[in-house]
A and B are shown apart, each in its own frame.
Chain A
């Protein structure tokens, strides 16, 4: 039997257990790989599948998803008959493998015991939501016979709670017993579990720490990339305008068609950005429950969307006043303070009034005559002060959902609960002000420098990571 302490290779962990106890879900969550076949049907995994965590080309650790035990009692029976003493238990397991490698009856046992005999640590997974049964004893005994370091993981798949019943038998066979829900455990707990495997073998501490740090760094990078993608979306959407040909300057149908084209194009931009964000977090091709997405899959220009993600009247007035006061303050400074804050006060009043009146208007429409005759309408950019906050609110809500979704989740994307009142109500005033300043420039059709775009991306990440009532339902 290989002693892991002398093995110079990366730590290998074999995820083993009864069939249909969430082994693949655990692997999917820890490896952050949504391609793992996770099915409520038993026996989905029929052969070992390795998932390596790599830093560049260097493998830091390897998780092996294995098929569930199928005939543990018969296997145990064979081993007992071929073992003389406790000392040769690992040898009996090895001999069992050699003897039955070609035997279809024990294909599952041979497959799952293979990596363990080669020195992999054991991660034994059980479902804590169903009762313990004596049929588990044989497989736990086999695992003990291998002599490899092991840990039991209680994964509660269903609503029942039999964790206490499980602890006693598990602690007889395993030194370490932990609870871990592959579906709902947050990222921080996933990383903690990974580093926790080092309790199995001291030699694994460094590579596992490195693997955990790498996953944390990747998460930060993913957030940054997602933030930058959303910043690009904001740049594109806030500055976008559509040109529609008109029969004459009063052609309302032509204007309506142009408006529809504008809305449709903006919707496409938003969907493309969402697909990119999902891909960044390895959640490509997510299925979504539109009815449960409370606004983020609603039409961008629907009343419901504007109610959920738009600014409140007070927020509109406050933002307008802040902008006006800043302009008025220049007058105060210019007069050397002679105006005694009159500039700021008047500026704030004008700004607030302007913002309130401007918020009522959705899209700028300009009619132009063409040089060769005829007219055209230029629709956009969308001028309402609400609009950037709606786009940002929907994008941030989506980002939160996707970034907090575990890869074992196969259910549709949905929100269990979200706080109403728009994103602006959740953010601190400094962040709100910085965002509004960039929004104002973009809404006026001005481009921002790449450095400012990066800054906007950073602000989006700060907004997404701020405390929120939006909770993804990981079910």
Chain B
């Protein structure tokens, strides 16, 4: 699979950050930290973010691939247009049917002069702000055509790519759009020059080209020779054959109404030497500057995308998630919930009538307030202790001791603030089993603080626990304040 371009990564990073906002925060945090641990720590921010999105993509084509394919398609189309345009333009400028030579000045104006003009315009626009002047030169500006081409393609692209390339998005994103258009325009220009060079080679190879020059003005041959000399100064030291000398310049001058050329001074075939000069002019003044601007625009475009990657909203958070250690402190697994938490109905209330003769057992050292017991309609005939420091065997012995006595109720006094533990329930069960069925069993709850009442929540806890015993003679009561 093709390596994703910077733009593809930018599109995917923006898209991923947006979709992460809808995901579970902890999952995203864990994923990013895992990726962060796999990436070398010394990478810069943009490289780290690119590695991050590559790890998430895991080889699958994201939205960025679409953008990348779109840009590649546009570049391919521009090369096609450029090469064909160059071929046509070259053919037009170098049109030669043998009746008259190709006017070298005319050809230079078309093939090199126009390009230099456009290049100068580009440099001016870059220096003084492309946005402001662009509209004025829209009709000759390839960037504007490409912009329209991109706009035409946008409906086929994902919204995240369209948003990236639209005017507002570009403003925010560090001039990506501007440098992309300049970069694409340079591709076109390079292809155009190559098309021209190709047609020149073709014509030179398969036909005889004869170049000449002509003017109505009273211009000395020497002066014209000087201009050509100046034009060829960049290469004449290395390729003197491609620099026309004064003799050739003079011999190439022609007047359409007179003899076509000074055939007495030079062979017609020698006029073809001009093609080398023409080729070098296109190479040096057409192709080379465009290759340089292509490289420069490519670098600026890459930089603008890198800057956008670094500054994309949310990228700082991604880097933070990747670089900060992940501290987790939760349960290893979800808690099992046993049944429902519904409260059982409260136990039946005892009707307080005449005082009950009762055996009072104080559980775990909790003492009942004697006057309060009376107010509750309980007359204690015996007091015993259970639980606490006493062993379970001692508790059983105590039950055996009270079994033979006559009483109407057993009152088990307990601290309301302590929930009923199973050892209390065990004791209560044993007590119930040993007592006569007619004996009333009362769990009598005492508050933690003497002057306070038992808290409703504590009573509910006790009732919930004792409800399961399903004993019609069992009551839970609270000590009156």
Contact = CB atoms under 8 A, between A and B. Distances in A.
Interface of A: 18-20, 30-33, 35-37, 39-43, 46-47, 49-56, 68-74, 77, 105, 108, 127, 129-131, 133-135, 137, 158, 160, 214-215, 217-218, 221, 224-225, 228, 276, 279-280, 282, 447, 449-451, 453-454
Contact of B331 (A33, A74, A127, A279): A33
Interface stretch (B51-59, B194-202, B276-284, B417-425): B417-425
Contact of A134 (B317, B334, B364): B364
Contacts of B461: 20, 40-42
A7 to B, nearest CB: 19
Nearest to B458: A40
A224 B317 CA distance: 10
Contacts of A129: 448
Contacts of B325: 55-56, 214, 217
Contacts, number: 150
B257 interface: no
Contacts of A450: 311-313, 315-316
Interface of B: 25, 33, 37, 172, 311-313, 315-317, 320, 324-338, 341, 364-366, 387-393, 415, 417-423, 426, 448-449, 457, 460-461, 464-465
Given A56-B326, A280-B25, A73 B423 contact: yes
Given A41-B461, A160-B448, A221-B324, A71 B421 contact: yes
Contacts of A72: 423
Given A74-B392, A221-B320, A450-B311, A42 B420 contact: yes
Contacts of A280: 25
A134 B329 contact: no
7 contacts: A18-B418, A33-B331, A42-B419, A42-B465, A131-B448, A160-B448, A450-B312
A447 B461 CA distance: 58
Given A35-B335, A41-B341, A131-B415, 14 more contacts: A33-B330, A50-B332, A54-B327, A54-B329, A70-B422, A73-B392, A130-B415, A133-B365, A134-B365, A135-B418, A135-B421, A217-B325, A218-B329, A451-B311
A115 B371 CA distance: 47
Nearest to A74: B392
A153 to B, nearest CB: 18
Contacts of B422: 70-71, 105, 108
A423 B417 CA distance: 43
B330 A35 contact: yes
Contact of A160 (B327, B332, B449): B449
Nearest to A69: B421
A304 B336 CA distance: 45
B327 A35 contact: no
Contacts of B391: 73, 77
Given A37-B335, A56-B33, A224-B320, A31 B464 contact: no
Contacts of B387: 73, 135
A49 B327 contact: no
> Which of A108, A133, A276 is the most central at the interface, judged by chain B CB atoms within 10 Å of its CB?
A133
Contacts of A31: 329-331
A385 to B, nearest CB: 26
A56 B316 contact: no
Contacts of B393: 77
Contacts of B392: 73-74, 77
> Which of A18, A135, A280 is the most central at the interface, judged by chain B CB atoms within 10 Å of its CB?
A135
A279 B419 contact: no
Contact of A228 (B317, B333, B464): B317
Given A42-B419, A133-B418, A50 B331 contact: yes
A56 B33 CA distance: 8
A40 to B, nearest CB: 5
B366 A133 contact: yes
Nearest to A451: B311
A43 B338 CA distance: 11
A55 B334 CA distance: 20
Contacts of A105: 422
Nearest to B460: A41
Contacts of A33: 329-331
